[in-house]
């Protein structure tokens, strides 16, 4: 029985009911080859990281989901620590400080953009650093990057677990200390 992932329902849909077969013989993914059913005619789908696979025997469905499927945006007006997969529009009376996450993995990402004109500063903890082109911040709590003008923005991606973040890309005039 052929299946196709439906991105709208996040379920595997039967694409052909066939005639009189004994069930699924194998499933093939993007790589690694076909996976055959075990002795009980079962093939287990396993999610990793933020991806989950939930089976419902009563309805014969599998639901594939993610605890953090999209990049979300919010407008902030107070100091806070950055969270991966978040975008921040800064709109406040004064400059807002956003701290690099203390715990981060390679590929964690966040974006910050000045909306109101009073600016933002990305602060660091001990041992942390931000790379921007051939420049880099001072390692540790005294280093930072900050906006200069309204609409300045950066996207930061963790490139060394817990310690180093790279700006990819920046827009505007970014100060590096």
pLDDT digits (tens, 9 = 90+) for 11-25: 666 655 544 445 667
> What confidence category does residue 1 fall into, taking pLDDT thresholds of 50, 70 and 90?
low
Question: Does one domain contain both 62 and 92?
Answer: no
Confidence band (pLDDT; 50, 70, 90) for 110? Answer: very high
Reduced to 3 states (helix: H, G, I; strand: E, B; else coil), residue 125 is: coil
DSSP state of 17: -
Is the separation of the CB atoms in 75 and 98 below 8 Å?
no
Residue-number span of the structural domain to which 53 is assigned: 3-66
pLDDT of residue 19: 46
Mean pLDDT of 29-36: 74
- What Å distances lie between residue 19 and 38, 77, 114, CA to CA? 22, 61, 60
Q: Are residues 57 and 76 in the same domain?
A: no
Q: What are 56-66's pLDDT values in tens digits?
A: 777 777 777 77
When pLDDT is averaged across residues 131-144 and rounded to a whole number, the result is 95
Work out whether strand 72-76 and strand 86-90 pair parallel, antiparallel, or are unpaired. Answer: parallel
Instruction: State the Cα–Cα distance between residues 139 and 176, nearest whole angstrom.
Output: 12
77 and 62 fall within a common domain: no
Whether residues 62 and 80 share a domain: the answer is no
- The answer to whether residues 81 and 153 belong to one domain is yes
> How many separate domains does the chain show?
2
The set of residues, in sequence order, having a beta carbon less than 8 Å from that of 131 and lying 6+ positions away, is 137, 159, 164, 165, 166, 167
State yes or no: pLDDT of 94 exceeds 70.
yes
The last residue of one of the domains, among 66, 92, 121, is 66
Residues 56, 78, single domain; the answer is no
Q: What is the CA radius of gyration of the chain?
A: 23
Domain edge (last residue) among 66, 91, 113 = 66
């Amino acid at each position: 029985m052929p299946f196709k992932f439906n991105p709208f329902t996040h379920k595997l849909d039967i694409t052909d009911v066939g005639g009189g077969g004994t069930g699924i013989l194998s499933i093939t993914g993007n790589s690694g080859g076909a996976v055959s059913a075990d002795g009980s005619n079962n093939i287990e789908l396993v999610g990793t990281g933020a991806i989950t696979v939930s089976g419902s025997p009563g309805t014969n469905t599998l639901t594939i989901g993610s605890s953090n499927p999209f990049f979300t945006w919010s407008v902030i007006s107070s100091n806070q620590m950055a969270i991966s997969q978040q975008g921040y529009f800064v709109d406040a009376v004064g400059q807002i400080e956003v701290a690099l996450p203390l715990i981060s993995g390679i590929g964690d990402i966040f974006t910050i953009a000045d909306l109101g004109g009073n600016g933002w500063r990305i602060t660091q903890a001990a041992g942390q650093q931000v790379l921007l082109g051939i420049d880099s911040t001072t390692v540790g709590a005294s280093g930072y990057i900050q906006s200069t003008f309204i609409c300045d923005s950066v996207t930061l991606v963790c490139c060394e677990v817990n310690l180093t973040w790279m700006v990819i890309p920046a827009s505007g005039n970014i100060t590096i200390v």
